[in-house]
Amino acid sequence: MRIVIKIGTSTLTYATGNLHIRHVETLCKVISDLKNAGHEIILVSSGAIGMGTGKLGLPERPKDMPTKQAAAAVGQCELMYFYDKLFSEYNHTVGQILITGSDLENAQRNQNFRNTVERLLELKVLPVINENDTVATEEIAVGDNDTLAAIVATVASANLLILLSDIDGLYTADPHKDPDAKLIPDVFEISEEILALAGGAGSELGTGGMKTKLSAASLCTESGTDMVIANGSEPELLYGIVDGEPIGTKFHKKASNI
Ligand code: GLU
């Protein structure tokens, strides 16, 4: 299977912006194992701004563009340093791709991106993709990595996109506020009722929330890719998700694409 896995800032870092070593070490181990089993994996990783915030000792995620971009420049290095180090332990090579919305909209650059990803996969390299936050100002940014991951999954014709977040999946109500909230295991149609379940952005350091996850699900399922939202704090869940076990919330691709 060709699988895109998106890791959110809330999984990669603590609220302090420091690396969540337990999560990241386990994730790298499980992803390496899935690659060893023959799956093609593409990683879309957030965390540049979050980790840069921690490394620079800033009191909170920056709000102004130059500081955000400076934090991303610092954090992206830190992120790739850890991925390179941890995946190397399992004999896997990583390759970094930084991209913007306008790169993806430009036919030639989009094709170059596609070619690079294909070649990296042929070379058994694990592509690690993030938005190029140092240049991606609002006008040219994809804006959040849920959407970026969905675009990557579509462009790379992946079978499955897994969004790892700090929540188990889509609930009937906000589980932080409503004790009766129930996890929705399967979504076959992203109806008005489903869209109404999305709130705003999730954590302090990341940008995504259920809203961006649902628009990612629309994009994927329309173009023939299944999508699962699951909790990134238990990276071993990835084994079950890949085996098709009912974990998190699965958005099923449109029947016409099966
Ligand atoms: N590209 C941003 C970063 O690496 C994350 C965007 C997101 O969290 O969706 O910090």
pLDDT digits (tens, 9 = 90+) for 54-68: 999 999 999 999 999
The two structure tokens encoding residue 175: 């589980």
Atom of ligand 1 nearest to the CA of 72: 10
Distance in Å, CA 144 to ligand 1 centroid:
6
Instruction: Please tell me the total count of domains within the chain.
Output: 1
Residue 60 and residue 203: Cα distance in Å, rounded? 12
Higher per-residue pLDDT: 178 or 237: 237
> Which residues form the pocket of ligand 1, taking CB atoms under 6 Å from any ligand atom?
9, 46-50, 72, 130-131, 133, 144-145, 206-208
pTM of the model: 0.93
CB burial of residue 175 (10 Å; 0-12, 13-18, 19+): middle
Strand partners, 23: none
> Which of 6, 7, 9, 215 best tests ligand 1's pocket when mutated (most atoms within 8 Å of CB)?
9
Distance in Å, CA 51 to ligand 1 centroid:
10
Q: What pLDDT was estimated at residue 140?
A: 66
Position 182 confidence tier, pLDDT thresholds 50, 70, 90: very high
Strand partners, 2: 40
Half-sphere exposure of 41 (CA within 13 A, CB side): 29
Q: What pLDDT was estimated at residue 210?
A: 86
The two structure tokens encoding residue 205: 């350091």
Q: What pLDDT was estimated at residue 200?
A: 47
Residue 238 and residue 247: Cα distance in Å, rounded? 9
CATH code, domain carrying 243? 3.40.1160.10
Q: What pLDDT was estimated at residue 16?
A: 84
Q: What pLDDT was estimated at residue 257?
A: 53
Q: What is the mean pLDDT of the chain?
A: 91
Q: Tokens 């090579």 correspond to what residue?
A: 93
Q: Which domain holds residue 9?
A: 2-257
The closest alpha carbon to 37, from 241, 242, 235, belongs to: 242
